Chain A
Amino acid sequence: MFLSRIVLRDLDSIDSPASMASSKKLVTRDEWERKLRDVKIRKEDMNRLVMNFLVTEGFVDAADKFRIESGTQPDIDLATITDRMEVKRAVQSGNVQEAIEKINDLNPTILDTNPQLYFHLQQQKLIELIRAGKINEALEFAQEELAPRGEENQVFLEEIEKTVALLVFEDIKNCPYGELLDVSQRLKTASEVNAAILTSQSHEKDPKLPSLLKMLIWTQNQLDEKAAYPRINNFSTAALEDPAI
């Protein structure tokens, strides 16, 4: 993605070198590095950003160790992370019923106030039954638990139809909705569960760091329109690249 942009920019400058040169302000590396040095960033704030990542992503042991090593207070009771991660893990390993029970232990209002989440969990349960080859059980579950919900909601109905279609195919791996059986479907449901629990604990459902990184991409792109300056294209090295003149 980054590479392609650079190539495009180079093409632009070949097309109209004069206009490019005159319309964009050039910021030299020296100048830019001076600006970077002048930025005031508190260590505590970076620690909080890292703690926020560990907590939101559920690294409970690491969050606890980080609290000790850096003196940063987590922004949530660490015990609740353990519960949340158990639920998440249950979904990821296909134990949907266990996950539902655990969510209700944690806070019974989560599923009550979140019909979509509850539906997705039940859908996941059906998928797991089909995966395990428990055809009769799957049929019974679909008819008794899922079908009534499809009557309430058109989107749910379509989802049910897709899921039930899995039953029809002998070779389910090659059925058009085979992706439902993929691990990614479990991960999707698991992350939905994770987000719902976090929200119920009045915590943001996503860690702050990725959105800041996206903000960096966006801001660099915006600034590209006005100036040529040293960009960071590779976030894993954070190396400055000389401005394309």
Chain B
Amino acid sequence: MVANEAVAAVVEEPAPAAGAVDPMRLASRWRSPAEWEAAAAEMEAEPVPSELNTTNSSGLFAVVSTDRMSVRYLGVNQHGHDVGVVQANRPAPTRRAVYYFEMGVKNAGHKGQTSIGFTTENFKMRRQPGWESNSCGYHGDDGYLYRGPGKSESFGPKFTSGDTIGAGINYFSEEFFFTKNGSLVGSFQKEIKGPLYPTIAVHSQDEEVTVNFGKEPFCFDIEGFIFEEKMKQQSVSDKLDLQPDISHWIVRSYLLHYGYQDTLNSFDMASETDPPSNHQNGYGEPPEMYGLSHRKLLRQLIMGGDIDSVFKKLGEWYPQDETSVICFLLHSQRFIEFIGAGQLEDAVKYARSNLANFLTHKAFDGLLKESVALLAYEKPAESCIGYLLDSPQREFVADAVNAAVLSTNPNMKDPESCLYSCLEKLLRQLTVCSFERRAFNGDQGDAFLLHKEVQSCDRSRCS
């Protein structure tokens, strides 16, 4: 309906060449799954404590086991400066919602003076965590919480042989918390800055404790705790008001942007019969009606693997330069389709006449190499680059063609708009804001990553 009008407008107006989209940017949107994984890992990468540090502890008062997962007091304690205290090999990671570890009291020894807590790098390694400034500790013999000289208070139950005690940092609320045998004991404000080392200590004859940095399942339901904290956080933002029906509008403009016209029609039809039908709500028509039915058809052809027809239609509607990114992507997709169909000879012939020209172009390097590598496998679909034969690769090409068509819209004000839908712009903004906020907050806490978010809805369904 409306789409046809847009098409009519195109016919009247000779389409300019697709120059507005920066070819490099289109190519840079292509990433292999391996690269995606690497990118995600880089965003989240942070070393985590894995064992006890045997080099910075005094070694005079306690001995760490050879697996570096437990510590036992040596001899008999005489005073307050002969604590067998051990830190983890690395500080607690900060780029997450919560950090947590546990200690098992294997033997409470003569006095049960085991303890758990956090200390900074320069901690005096012969004192209990919490006795010195910039440290905190939960002590087994009195159940007190210690957080600096002269600062101790009644906190929770005492603990002894057989108990499992946990210590954590909640970066949402900026609090420390402790647990005993799977139950939360209490939490308090985190006043200490800087890298914090998980720390355990023994301080009387025969005392022995083990540590668990997450290799073994925790006694405390840490996943549940994080979930609760996230819900708390979400309930704060859920109270905020959104523009009415804005989600509906954003989804609709996404469908328009990518030319998912069949979906759009069903969506519009359902919206008319269902009550909140005022989705237009004065936002005005999205700018992306342009070339809708052309874009839909081109997408359909690409998703169906019919690249020859795409070339034909594109040449007719939106002529492309032979050396353009779009042509390269389509040629490489044509090549991939040959391989998918098992026509290897045709693939080779096609590559020689159509792909070789692009070999010198740096932006295309990755995709080109991987595509050509498909030839090396007897069963390419099962190879490590088999993803090239899957539908996301077709969709990637379809999206590029879609962007190229959108870029010919003479009324397009912002060239970014042919690359990014409204939804994507908002998600990018959310990601950057979230990372910036964390950076201002001493790199502490969770940050938004869409991939993690959509996976988490899968996870919560499973549980």
Contact of A70 with B by CB under 8 A: yes
Per the bound structure, the CA–CA distance linking A46 and B420 in Å amounts to 11
Q: Tell me the smallest distance from the CB of A179 to a CB of chain B, in Å.
A: 17
Per the bound structure, the CA–CA distance linking A61 and B237 in Å amounts to 31
Contact of A223 with B by CB under 8 A: yes
- Decide: A236 and B243 in contact? CB cutoff 8 A: yes
Q: How many residues of B contact A (CB 8 A)?
A: 73
Q: Determine the main DSSP class of A at the interface with B.
A: helix
8 Å CB interface, B190-243 against A = 234, 236-238, 240-243
- Stretch of A9-17, A50-58, A108-116, A137-145 lying at the B interface: A50-58
Interface mask (A39-52 → B, CB under 8 Å = 1, otherwise 0):
11111111011101
- Decide: A236 and B247 in contact? CB cutoff 8 A: no
- Decide: A210 and B267 in contact? CB cutoff 8 A: no
- Decide: A214 and B454 in contact? CB cutoff 8 A: no
- Stretch of A121-129, A149-157, A167-175, A226-234 lying at the B interface: A226-234
- Decide: A226 and B440 in contact? CB cutoff 8 A: yes
Contact of A209 with B by CB under 8 A: yes
Q: Tell me the smallest distance from the CB of B422 to a CB of chain A, in Å.
A: 5
- Decide: A183 and B275 in contact? CB cutoff 8 A: yes
Per the bound structure, the CA–CA distance linking A42 and B263 in Å amounts to 20
- Decide: B430 and A92 in contact? CB cutoff 8 A: no
Given contacts A42-B36, A50-B254, A237-B422, contact A215 B267 (CB under 8 A): no
Contact of B90 with A by CB under 8 A: no
- Decide: A53 and B251 in contact? CB cutoff 8 A: yes
Give A230's nearest chain B residue, CB to CB.
Answer: B429
- Decide: A213 and B453 in contact? CB cutoff 8 A: no
- Decide: B429 and A50 in contact? CB cutoff 8 A: no
Contact of B384 with A by CB under 8 A: no
Question: Of B31, B39, B424, B429, which is within 8 A of A216 by CB?
Answer: B429
- Decide: A232 and B426 in contact? CB cutoff 8 A: yes
Q: Tell me the smallest distance from the CB of B114 to a CB of chain A, in Å.
A: 39
- Stretch of B71-79, B144-152, B391-399 lying at the A interface: B391-399
- Residues on A with C-beta less than 8 A from B267 are 54, 59, 62
- Residues on B with C-beta less than 8 A from A216 are 426, 429-430, 433
Question: Of A58, A70, A229, which is within 8 A of B395 by CB?
Answer: A70
Contact of B45 with A by CB under 8 A: no
- Decide: A43 and B238 in contact? CB cutoff 8 A: no
- Decide: B457 and A41 in contact? CB cutoff 8 A: no
Per the bound structure, the CA–CA distance linking A232 and B284 in Å amounts to 18
Give B440's nearest chain A residue, CB to CB.
Answer: A226
Per the bound structure, the CA–CA distance linking A114 and B436 in Å amounts to 43
Q: Tell me the smallest distance from the CB of A31 to a CB of chain B, in Å.
A: 10
Give B239's nearest chain A residue, CB to CB.
Answer: A214
Contact of B431 with A by CB under 8 A: yes
Q: Tell me the smallest distance from the CB of A187 to a CB of chain B, in Å.
A: 6
Interface mask (A155-167 → B, CB under 8 Å = 1, otherwise 0):
0000000000000
Contact of B131 with A by CB under 8 A: no
Per the bound structure, the CA–CA distance linking A70 and B260 in Å amounts to 8
- Residues on A with C-beta less than 8 A from B391 are 71
- Residues on A with C-beta less than 8 A from B234 are 211, 215
Give B281's nearest chain A residue, CB to CB.
Answer: A236
Per the bound structure, the CA–CA distance linking A64 and B246 in Å amounts to 22
Per the bound structure, the CA–CA distance linking A211 and B235 in Å amounts to 10
- Residues on B with C-beta less than 8 A from A202 are 461
Contact of B262 with A by CB under 8 A: yes
- Decide: A204 and B260 in contact? CB cutoff 8 A: no
- Decide: A218 and B240 in contact? CB cutoff 8 A: yes
Question: Of A46, A75, A227, which is within 8 A of B427 by CB?
Answer: A46
- Residues on B with C-beta less than 8 A from A208 are 453-454, 457
Given contacts A69-B262, A211-B234, A213-B247, contact A203 B461 (CB under 8 A): yes
- Decide: B254 and A217 in contact? CB cutoff 8 A: no
Contact of B11 with A by CB under 8 A: no
- Decide: B428 and A42 in contact? CB cutoff 8 A: no
- Decide: A43 and B392 in contact? CB cutoff 8 A: yes
Contact of B122 with A by CB under 8 A: no
Q: Tell me the smallest distance from the CB of A202 to a CB of chain B, in Å.
A: 5
Give B249's nearest chain A residue, CB to CB.
Answer: A236
- Decide: B425 and A232 in contact? CB cutoff 8 A: yes
- Decide: A212 and B399 in contact? CB cutoff 8 A: no
Q: Tell me the smallest distance from the CB of A126 to a CB of chain B, in Å.
A: 22
- Residues on A with C-beta less than 8 A from B421 are 46
Interface mask (B371-397 → A, CB under 8 Å = 1, otherwise 0):
000000000000000000001101110
Contact of B353 with A by CB under 8 A: no
Q: Tell me the smallest distance from the CB of B45 to a CB of chain A, in Å.
A: 14
- Decide: A71 and B423 in contact? CB cutoff 8 A: no
- Decide: B440 and A227 in contact? CB cutoff 8 A: yes
Per the bound structure, the CA–CA distance linking A226 and B435 in Å amounts to 13
Contact of A18 with B by CB under 8 A: no
- Residues on B with C-beta less than 8 A from A203 are 461
Q: Tell me the smallest distance from the CB of B122 to a CB of chain A, in Å.
A: 29
Give B267's nearest chain A residue, CB to CB.
Answer: A62
Given contacts A215-B237, A218-B240, A238-B425, contact A53 B247 (CB under 8 A): yes
Given contacts A46-B423, A69-B303, A214-B242, contact A61 B270 (CB under 8 A): yes
Per the bound structure, the CA–CA distance linking A92 and B284 in Å amounts to 28
- Residues on A with C-beta less than 8 A from B300 are 69
- Decide: A75 and B458 in contact? CB cutoff 8 A: yes
Given contacts A43-B396, A62-B270, A208-B454, contact A215 B262 (CB under 8 A): no
Q: Tell me the smallest distance from the CB of B5 to a CB of chain A, in Å.
A: 22
- Decide: B241 and A1 in contact? CB cutoff 8 A: yes
- Residues on A with C-beta less than 8 A from B427 are 39, 41, 46, 212
- Residues on A with C-beta less than 8 A from B450 are 41-42, 45-46, 49
A sample of 28 cross-chain residue pairs with beta-carbon separation below 8 angstroms, ordered by A number, consists of A40-B40, A43-B396, A45-B450, A46-B423, A60-B270, A61-B270, A62-B263, A62-B270, A65-B265, A66-B263, A69-B299, A69-B300, A69-B303, A70-B263, A75-B457, A209-B251, A209-B423, A214-B242, A216-B429, A218-B236, A219-B430, A220-B429, A223-B437, A226-B440, A229-B433, A235-B250, A235-B426, A237-B422
Using A36-B429, A92-B275, A236-B284 as known contacts, list a sample of 19 further A-B pairs with CB atoms less than 8 Å apart, ordered by residue number in A: A39-B428, A41-B450, A44-B392, A46-B421, A46-B450, A52-B457, A65-B263, A68-B262, A75-B457, A202-B461, A220-B429, A226-B437, A227-B436, A232-B429, A236-B422, A238-B422, A238-B425, A238-B426, A238-B429
Q: Which are the 7 A-B pairs with shortest beta-carbon distances? A: A238-B425, A218-B237, A71-B391, A61-B266, A62-B266, A62-B267, A65-B263
